[in-house]
Amino acid sequence: GAGVSQSPSNKVTEKGKDVELRCDPISGHTALYWYRQSLGQGLEFLIYFQGNSAPDKSGLPSDRFSAERTGGSVSTLTIQRTQQEDSAVYLCASSYLWGGTTDTQYFGPGTRLTVL
Amino acid sequence: AQTVTQSQPEMSVQEAETVTLSCTYDTSESDYYLFWYKQPPSRQMILVIRQEAYKQQNATENRFSVNFQKAAKSFSLKISDSQLGDAAMYFCAYRSAEGGSEKLVFGKGTKLTVNP
């Protein structure tokens, strides 16, 4: 079946602008994650959604970052007033809830964000 | 907090030879999962192998196998009969199985080069 998809593949924006990144999880997967991959910080967890539960936002680096998940499926990560340090690859992953815990996370191809 | 350390930023191997990538982790938990992910230049993170901490038997997937030493908190990946397509970044990751956050904690990665 189809894997996790993300759009856009690449995004170039100017400092101070807002951006929205989209993630479509694998059909039937109830858990969705966002990670950020940058040269300096490696792979960092940002946020986690599981069904109707309150999201785990513990990895969001500032209040300029927010995410929502509509209808338990598609998710949008929004970065307001972008800064150059926000330049990174943003990865989305999804997994299936099984036996009370989530299974292996499957990743999308990522969105490369460049802030000029 | 859990940490994952990959002490080899880069490794190289001759085609058809065997290579071992190292990973150590730090945790106070007894129940967790460990993963190796592969990331080729396409950016897509691909699951290579997964190990449940409660299982003593080392996981194996075709040419890929792990050496899981729970007491030593070590989780190395062995790639046998290396192929050109194995060239990629390899990330070791930890996930708790004791409730709470479902996030993956990643190491910094090892860049594997396969020489023909």
Q: Kindly list the residues from chain B whose CB atom is less than 8 angstroms away from the CB atom of residue A45.
A: 101, 103-105
With CB atoms and an 8 Å threshold, state whether B107 touches A109.
no
Cβ-nearest to A42 among B101, B102, B109? B109
Q: Could you tell me the two tokens for A57?
A: 């936002």
Residues A26-52: tens digit of each pLDDT: 998 889 999 999 987 789 999 999 888
User: B59-98: buried (b, 16+ CB within 10 Å) or exposed (e) per residue?
Assistant: beeeebbbebeeeebebbbbbeebeeebbbbbbbbbbbbe
Give the B window 16-45 contacts with A, CB below 8 Å: 35, 37, 42-45
Residues B43-102: tens digit of each pLDDT: 889 999 999 998 888 988 999 999 999 999 999 999 999 999 999 999 999 998 887 678
Residue A94 identity:
S
Q: Distances from the Cα of B31 to the Cαs of B53, B94, B106, in angstroms?
A: 6, 11, 17
Q: How far apart are CA A83 and CA A65, in angstroms?
A: 11
Average of per-residue pLDDT values in chain A: 92
The mean pLDDT of B23-46, rounded to a whole number, is: 93
Q: How far is A29 from chain B (nearest CA, A)?
A: 14
